Structure 1
């Protein structure tokens, strides 16, 4: 089947959006902003008003904010909220979404169910084991930090580092255990991630690499080498997968990670179905491969394409191709880390600044064109670099490595 999926072509008078996170909320809002006048129904599994997730690992967790609800007047926009409702299946041929409260008909369906955290095998039901994905998760963890428990974080990825940061700020003793040889092993090459290992010790946290969890019991984590690490609480941050198990049997094509396979306008391989955010992969002409992006900015940008394509199906004008420069940020151990682009193995790596210092940037080039960069404490590099990636401007590698030179002036 081709990447382009033929839509049904009839006017979409009823749009149903499944998932009330950033991607789902922004899709509903974008439909109204772009002039859609039909009904828009936003379905969310959680009972809470739709909320933003990044503050959960920061302000909400530390108690400096009570929540992170979106400042959106859904009623004024004519968006129907159906919260506490779980999607259980789709019947594309009948244009029906099956939910815990019965079937919901649609003319256009948007899948925006996000991702769900991976669970630590054998740890379900063990007292004191936590995930950090939802508002309820953050609220359960807040008193843990307040009581300054000894905390073990399983996984030194982005979420593990952010939680460890918050736990240290709260005065907890923190041990981070990581099965790989370095933090962020799944995201960054060894030479880039290596300097970040020192951040843990600088913040008073213990980082144990090559450390696999054998068993979790109340009050402790037992590692494969026999070490028993005291743990008043265990926070699991070992990755996430698209929340799409409920689509089994629907005929909607899924990829190797369980993600919805979409075309370059975020159309799923089913009539009148789109997908957006963490639950979908899409082909990138810029990078020549299919991308699965689990980051906030993707959930913010994709909805504009989805809304335009739904509205364009009526007007006969398809949306522009969705081919963003992926972007995300992380705040950890007093550092602001930003990343833009995508770099497979084999791209040339160039450094701007000393990674032992407080501010530095790593750039990845392909045929002297910038394809990705990681900026630590250098937001101007990030902003300029993102535009250079978008434009495909040829760079001068010698000039690029001078941290005193603005990135935008290091062109060929």
Structure 2
């Protein structure tokens, strides 16, 4: 980070422009007002819809139980200018201008909050019946598919694949989930932790096929690389997401190996007066000693408060959260807090074959992460223990009858 960047003088900013109108963008605009910013705030979103929350898309909106999930924010009362249906095209930091479909937008401070975009299955661009699930329009296109109870093939047994499979089974569809790896959530959890989740698919009536790669998609069918032909009235692809940052090419903004904006611990970018927050950015974690790229709702909720505080310049706010997310799948409430990559010990609370259990990761005697299935109290207490860096007693911790807060050393 350059000296010029370190001295970003933003307290005198009169025009803040936020690129991206998802959770991170909306919360940045709201946090600026809540923290006393009186200048111009402009929120630019590529979609024409009123800004909305994404988690309900794979649940209530998809099943027709809700028409949408617009944020309960009175943008007009807060003096936040909305420019919707306006895609960002480029950035010219030397001119302090953001290029958009509607022309250049000048800024004193710019916040990048363009989120992530789903990875497409190669060879399926424009193929009828192949769907993604990221936007409100995606969910609206899938609603009648579920209503007609098609045979559905879900590609990818990650978080979004499991959530969609759950909704499709609830709608009465026949569901087959194909996963290239040997287990669900292979990119997110160790094998011994993900293994118990394999049975959840069969219990719900869904078919899970692992070690399965898609060769091609034909009208009404998915062909796997072993020659298997799966009937498919619709195909839903959930094989991950990448930061939506291609538009920053040539801007001078430093990007990482995954295309993410490389923010510092105050969420500043490599370019003066430009911040980045949410799914499009990674940040260095002092707590975990590595750079984190977190594609989850809570990160998009928490980061904007740090951005707003640093824009106002009244304090030097460092961003170093305990990452948190949740997932509802196959009748289970799954929650995760922390970051387990550097753990040296794994402990179980409860039997993974049962309806409720928790996995705890420790580094030395400190809790660094936990996954709670049907045990929300473990999650709440464990998250606070991670934040505090409290030494734990392993013998007490493995007893599921004892509260986690009572398992300290």
Q: Same fold (TM over 0.5)?
A: yes
The question of whether the paired residues in 2 share the 8 Å contact of 1:274 and 1:306 is answered with yes
Q: Deviations over 1:80-101 (max 9, x none)?
A: 0000001000111110000011
Partner of 1:323: 320
Tell me which residue corresponds to 2:200: 199
Displacement after TM superposition at 1:5 (Å): 3.0
CA contact (8 A) 1:3 1:263 kept: no
| Structure 2 counterpart of 1:108 | 109
1:179/1:209 contact within 8 Å kept: yes
Residue 380 of structure 1 pairs with residue 377 of structure 2: yes
SS at match of 2:41: strand
Structure 1 Cα separation of the partners of residues 176 and 89 of structure 2: 38
Q: Is the 8 A contact 1:7 1:272 kept in 2?
A: no
The 3-state SS of whatever aligns with 1:387 is: helix
Change (3 A) 1:2 1:338: farther
- CA distance in 2: counterparts of 1:249 and 1:171, whole angstroms: 48
What does 1:11-410 correspond to in 2, within 5 Å?
11-312=12-313, 317-344=314-341, 346-410=343-407
Over the residues paired in the alignment, what is the CA RMSD in angstroms? 1.0
Q: Does the aligned pair in 2 maintain the 1:53–1:68 contact within 8 Å?
A: yes
Q: Could you say which residue in structure 1 is the equivalent of 2:6? A: 6
The 2-side partners of 1:74 and 1:221 are apart by 45
Deviations 1:315-343 (A, max 9, x none): xx333210000000000000000000001
| Structure 1 residue matching 2:327: 3-state secondary structure | strand
Aligned CA distance change for structure 1 residues 127 and 187 (closer, same or farther; 3 Å): same
Residues 118 and 240, structure 2, Cα contact 8 Å, conserved in 1: yes
Q: Contact 2:64–2:143 at 8 Å: present in 1 too?
A: yes
SS in 2 for 1:69: coil
The secondary structure found in structure 2 opposite 1:61 is coil
Q: Which runs of 5+ in 1 are unaligned?
A: none
Rounded to whole Å, the distance in 2 between the matches of 1:38 and 1:67 is 31
5+ unaligned residues in a row in structure 2: which ranges? none
Query: Aligned equivalents of 2:120 and 2:345: distance in 1?
Result: 35
CA distance in 2 between partners of 1:25 and 1:409 (Å): 39
Shift of 1:77: 0.2
SS at match of 1:265: coil
Q: d(CA) in 1 for partners of 2:103 and 2:291?
A: 35
Deviation at 1:346, TM superposition (A): 4.9
- Alignment partners' CA distance in 2, 1:393 and 1:282: 24
Q: Deviation at 1:125?
A: 1.1
Could you tell me the TM-score, scaled by structure 2's length?
0.98
TM-score, normalization by structure 1? 0.98
- TM-aligned CA deviation for residue 345 of structure 1: 5.3
Contact 2:24 2:301 in 1 (8 A): yes
Q: Give, in whole Å, the separation in 2 of the partners of 1:271 and 1:235.
A: 41
Query: Which whole-Å CA distance do the structure 1 matches of 2:125 and 2:224 have between them?
Result: 17
**Could you give the per-residue CA deviations for residues 203-228 of structure 1, whole angstroms, max 9, x where no partner exists?**
00000000000001110000010000
For residues 230-279 of structure 1, the C-alpha deviation after alignment (integer angstroms, 9 at most, x for no partner) is 00000000000000000000000000000000110100110100000000
Distance in 2 (CA, whole Å) between partners of 1:297 and 1:280 is 14
Alpha carbons 2:4, 2:272 under 8 Å: kept: no
CA deviations 1:88-117 (Å, max 9, x no partner) are 001111100000111000000000000000
CA shift for structure 1 position 3: 9.9
Distance in 1 (CA, whole Å) between partners of 2:227 and 2:346 is 38
